[in-house]
Amino acid sequence: MRVLWFNLATDLDDPLLAFTNSWIREVATRVDSIRVITMRLGRAELPENVRIYSVGKEKGFNEPRRALEFYRHLLRILHHEAIDVCYSHMIPIFTVMAAPLLKLKGIPIVTWHAHRQVTTRLKLAHHFSDRMVTCAASAYRYKHDKLLVIGHGIDTTLFCPDGTEPDTPPLLLSVGRLSPIKDLFTLVKAVHLLQQRGHEIRCDLVGGPLERDSAYAERVRQLVAKFGFGKTVLLPGAIPHSEIVQWYRRCFAHVNLCSTGGLDKAALEAMACGKPCLVANEGFRETLAHWAPHLLFRPGHAEDLAYKLERLLAMSESQRRAIGTDLRQSVIEQHDLKRLADQLMSVFETVTYEYLRVVTEGEISRQPVTNFQSGRRHN
């Protein structure tokens, strides 16, 4: 099978999107080739059967120039190669731009989306796509008529326990952008409540803001200063994706305060490292299983978060480790990277087969696909 892949960013040093490199690598082991058209290209280490084409955002190209580059790469790929399926990851604009040409060529489209916002671009991408895929039903807030829930792709080989002892005093960790959706005010207030109650605790807010959220990040820093935390609450900034695993291993718990939308990858990564993760998003209930009453807290409610953190702090390290062991197993079963790649291959094969059936019934010539179990095409 030959895959055309649209990517928002292909960059191992991107603190938010570096994981897409591991997704591409894993799928590449199951297909003949992948051709990636990416909005922005940075450092990438990918197999020989993967080629990357950037539309030039990293070079400062403006939108008209990037659109031109997109069509230049797309037309060249479609002219020189027989593409079986197109997969668009979190970039619905590429789905919409490519759809007329792909439909003309009889190439099915699978679009991944996991975000609370429903935009006109997303609605159009939904219309043009043969399937929409996402990590959890709650992560896709538009029509579900084409939707398949396939889990997240957590590299549980990278994100795993390694025997590292948690920091003393206990480190509470939150990984993610400094953004209003992350509700960091509630976390800072909860840490203040714990401090007032005599708990010795540290908290690191790992991540940086997008330009549009710089004012919010400054307000978080002001609140930290207002409470006089000193070294109790630190904001170390964005950390490379490959290094963040050590932070997970050092904490006693991770907190994710997003109340809606997709399952935040940082929360799943922390669980994969064997750490309890407190979350405000009900979408995590299935992953948390019987630990949900202990780890789900009311969105925006600092008192409830502080209460559940107190209960965790009162446990022994072996008790917290037992929770983490269960959560890691849940992530492996529902969100492991290899599972995601298998799920994607199943979707690719299904939509390709559907296209071939329609083409065959319409007596239009196209090479058949066989051996769907292996995910490879044989001419």
pLDDT tens readout for residues 296-327: 999 999 999 999 999 999 999 999 999 999 99
Q: Are residues 139 and 222 in the same domain?
A: no
Q: Are residues 190 and 253 in the same domain?
A: yes
Classified as helix, coil or strand, 369 is: coil
The owner of tokens 């609450």 is: 233
Average pLDDT, integer, range 98-110: 96
Rounded Cα–Cα distance for residues 204 and 119 (Å): 33
In a domain, 378, yes or no: no
Q: Are residues 125 and 31 in the same domain?
A: yes
Average pLDDT, integer, range 10-19: 91
In a domain, 55, yes or no: yes
Q: Are residues 97 and 46 in the same domain?
A: yes
Whether residue 364 is predicted with pLDDT greater than 70 in this model: the reply is no
When divided into structural domains, the chain yields a total of 2
List for the chain the helix, strand, coil content (%; round to 5). Answer: 45, 15, 35
Rounded Cα–Cα distance for residues 278 and 274 (Å): 13
Classified as helix, coil or strand, 49 is: coil
Domain of residue 281: give its range. Answer: 171-335
Q: Residue 360's pLDDT band (boundaries 50, 70, 90)? A: low
Under DSSP, the state recorded for 38 is E
Q: Residue 262's pLDDT band (boundaries 50, 70, 90)? A: confident
pTM for the predicted model, two decimal places: 0.90
Q: Are residues 75 and 124 in the same domain?
A: yes
Whether residue 376 is predicted with pLDDT greater than 50 in this model: the reply is no
In a domain, 90, yes or no: yes
Residue 167: predicted pLDDT: 95
By the 8 A CB rule, do 224 and 188 touch? yes
In a domain, 133, yes or no: yes
Percent of the chain with pLDDT over 90: 85
Residue 148: predicted pLDDT: 96
E strands within 72-169? 85-89, 109-112, 131-134, 147-149
Q: Work out the burial of residue 243: count CB atoms within 10 Å of its CB; fewer than 13 is exposed, 13-18 middle, 19 or more buried.
A: exposed
Average pLDDT, integer, range 221-239: 92
The owner of tokens 């390290």 is: 317
Q: Are residues 242 and 340 in the same domain?
A: no
pLDDT digits (tens, 9 = 90+) for 202-211: 999 999 998 9
Whether residue 365 is predicted with pLDDT greater than 90 in this model: the reply is no
Q: Are residues 250 and 213 in the same domain?
A: yes
In a domain, 165, yes or no: no
Q: Residue 359's pLDDT band (boundaries 50, 70, 90)? A: low
Q: Are residues 141 and 207 in the same domain?
A: no
Q: Are residues 95 and 228 in the same domain?
A: no
The owner of tokens 């668009």 is: 88
Whether residue 184 is predicted with pLDDT greater than 60 in this model: the reply is yes
Lookup: tokens for 90: 């979190």
Rounded Cα–Cα distance for residues 109 and 126 (Å): 10
What's the distance, CA 108 to chain centroid?
23
Q: Are residues 41 and 23 in the same domain?
A: yes
Average pLDDT, integer, range 235-251: 93
In a domain, 159, yes or no: no
In a domain, 230, yes or no: yes
By the 8 A CB rule, do 281 and 134 touch? no
Residue 362: predicted pLDDT: 57
H/E stretch holding 121: helix 120-128
Residue 361: predicted pLDDT: 63
- Average pLDDT, rounded, for the chain: 92
Q: Are residues 258 and 149 in the same domain?
A: no
Q: Are residues 129 and 23 in the same domain?
A: yes
- Cα–Cα distances (Å) from 185 to 251, 281, 282, in that order, read 20, 16, 20
Here the CATH number for the domain that contains residue 355 is 3.40.50.2000
Residue 3's DSSP bridge partners are 34, 85
Q: Work out the burial of residue 92: count CB atoms within 10 Å of its CB; fewer than 13 is exposed, 13-18 middle, 19 or more buried.
A: buried
In a domain, 24, yes or no: yes
Rounded Cα–Cα distance for residues 343 and 249 (Å): 29
